Amino acid sequence: MSKRLQRVNELIKEQISRIILREIEFFPNILVTVTRVETSSDFRDTNVFISVLPEKNRSKTVDFLNRKIGLLQREINKSLRMKPLPRLNFLEERETAEAGKIEEILVRLKTEEK
């Protein structure tokens, strides 16, 4: 991955996190985190991976963000000074959920040993 692509990913991650914090109202008691961003090599598309707690609200929250894509896209386009401007797409972060399940199993095994 090129340095420019890495910088663009970090910049988009920071900006999206800031916009979500200031502009989007989620359902009560939901924590939303932007875990990573992957921009295509031609800088036209960006996948934004979202982690949601509690996990049962994950799909609903990602759908909600994809419905707010116009607002988010407009705000990110204002803050980025680059051409082309990447199109955003929000996806569920599955790696974090898998890691959480593994951690839960390890804790359970540890307590069962004692």
Helix (H) or strand (E) holding 20: helix 3-23
Whether the predicted pLDDT of 63 surpasses 80? yes
pLDDT over 90, % of the chain:
44
Q: Tell me the residue length of the chain.
A: 114
| HSE-up of residue 52 (Cα within 13 Å, Cβ side) | 23
Question: Which of 1.10.3720.10, 3.30.1180.20, 3.30.300.20, 3.40.50.20 would CATH assign to domain 3-113?
Answer: 3.30.300.20
Taking 80 as the threshold, does the pLDDT of residue 99 lie above it?
no
Residue 55 scores a pLDDT above 90 = no
For 31, the token pair is: 């924590």
- Cα(65)–Cα(20) distance, rounded to whole angstroms? 9
pLDDT at residue 100, as a whole number: 66
What is the pLDDT averaged over residues 66-82?
A: 89
Contacts (Cβ under 8 Å, ≥6 apart) of 44: 84, 86, 87
Q: Give the residue extent of every domain in the chain.
A: 3-113
- What integer pLDDT is reported at residue 18 of this predicted model? 93
pTM of the model: 0.77
pLDDT tens sequence across 3-29: 989 999 999 999 999 999 898 888 788
Tell me what the pLDDT averaged over the chain comes to. 87
Model confidence at 53, pLDDT cuts 50, 70, 90, reads confident
